[in-house]
Amino acid sequence: HFYKRENKNQYLMSFLSVLVELEVFKEITLDFMLVGHTGNQVDQLFSILTTEFKTEIQTPEHLLQKIQNSNICPKPTVRELLFTWNWREYVIPKLSGRKLKNHSFQHSFIFKSENGKSLMRAKKYPQHKEWSPPEGIQLLKENQDFPLVPVSPFRVEKLCLEKVFADLVTKYFPTLELRNRREVEASWERTKTLIENLPRRFNNLPKMNLQRLPKQENEPIPIPPSYLEPFMEREERELEGQKGVLEASDGDFFDEITAQMDVVIYSETKVNRPWVGRVQELLSETREFRIRWYERKHKKSLVFHPSVNSDGSPYLSVVSVDTVMFWEFTEKLSDDSFKVSREWLDKISDGYDSHDQC
């Protein structure tokens, strides 16, 4: 039970993340149709049912019979849904700290397991090649257990069954022919009793066991439809939420350093941390490099711009490669700015704390 009339929400996304986390699927893709382009084969099936429903439906059993005997092919299987599972309340404590944002502007989502964590990425249209953000969105907290999912609470009192049944007795049943009135009355009485007894059966209804869901084999990824091509040029909004921080690069920075690489420098001075900048020139003979420093306009900003001296010239320094803490951590690179995610800023802060204790 996702408690929403539409399914593009964090509760559905979290459910798919759990399926990947538990290896029910290795990968899940989710695509939504565009507004104005939602016509599909299912509409035709509902059109058939609309025709069937034009004649009188006297009882719930009569409704099931009409669906089963309709001209839908293949022949439909009809089941009563007497309860749902309370996924919303179950998963809320397991969600990561940051609220999912801008997912309503995306139409395609992918869920993958990476380093034991389920990460979600999105793109505006299925035909786009790049998923964002590169780090992925981590919807679930780490190291979570997944016990049985409880049944959703019943709200039978909101159905006003007594009033509904009173109207049936006084307004509908008298219109029926005597030969089938008793059968119709008995059917509605059974339905009323069934619904009223559901809360009493609450503790005995089966809970959802996520651990016992069957594992599915890999299947080929579907090819995106061509009709989405005209929408590729529309403005995109990046998916926001709790990002999974990419692991820091291993190895000797001296072997990987290149010009225009963004780096974090350790400094004993705690003022103006983090000390970040862009490599300008390699000085290989001394294991040093020339760096152009970058700074934020205010402390809460995620975007860094080049620092300048009082005369307007670039603020440059020569530093040792041994002072580099992290590299290859920025996003939205450009000639005059770069962005550092909140998750990376937290990781950098932890790095400073660790070095300060040495």
pLDDT digits (tens, 9 = 90+) for 269-288: 888 899 999 999 988 788 88
Task: pLDDT band for 245, please (50, 70, 90 cuts).
Answer: low
Output the pLDDT for position 4: 41
Per-residue model confidence (pLDDT) at position 67: 92
In angstroms, the CA 178 to CA 53 distance is: 23
Query: Which pLDDT score is estimated for 1?
Result: 40
Q: Band of the pLDDT at 6, cuts 50, 70, 90?
A: low
Average pLDDT, the chain: 86
More confident residue, 227 or 101: 101
pLDDT tens-digit readout, 287-337: 889 999 999 988 888 999 999 999 999 999 999 988 888 888 888 767 788
Cα 200-2-87 angle, rounded to 5 deg = 60
Average pLDDT over residues 208-221: 83
pLDDT of amino acid 5:
46
* Per-residue pLDDT at 232 exceeds 80: no
Range of weakest confidence among 200-204, 216-220, 292-296, 326-330: 216-220
Helix, strand, coil percentages for the chain (3-state, nearest 5): 35, 20, 45
Per residue in 52-79, pLDDT (tens digit) is 899 899 999 999 999 999 988 888 889 8
pLDDT for residue 341 is more than 70: yes
DSSP assigned state of 5: S
Task: Match 């996003």 to its residue by tokens.
Answer: 331
DSSP per-residue codes, 46-80: HHHHHHHTTS---SHHHHHHHHHTSS-SSPPP---
Provide the pLDDT confidence category of residue 45 given band limits of 50, 70 and 90.
confident
Per DSSP, the residues of 149-181 read: BPBPPP-GGGG-HHHHHHHIIIIIGGGS-HHHH
Question: Tens of pLDDT along 77-132?
Answer: 898 899 999 999 999 999 998 889 899 889 999 999 998 899 999 998 888 889 99
- pTM score > 0.75 for this model? no
User: Residue 244's pLDDT is what?
Assistant: 67
pLDDT tier at 218, thresholds 50, 70, 90 = low
**Among 85-89, 91-95, 234-238, 250-254, which is the least confidently predicted range?**
250-254
Question: Higher pLDDT residue, 256 or 337?
Answer: 337
What percent of the chain clears pLDDT 70, i.e. is strictly above it?
90
**Residue 254 is which amino acid?**
F
pLDDT tens for 121-153 read 999 888 888 999 999 999 999 989 999 999 999
Whether the pLDDT of residue 202 is over 60: the answer is: yes
Taking the C-alpha atoms of residue 244 and residue 133, their distance in angstroms, rounded to an integer, is 10
The answer to whether 84 and 151 are in contact (CB under 8 A) is yes
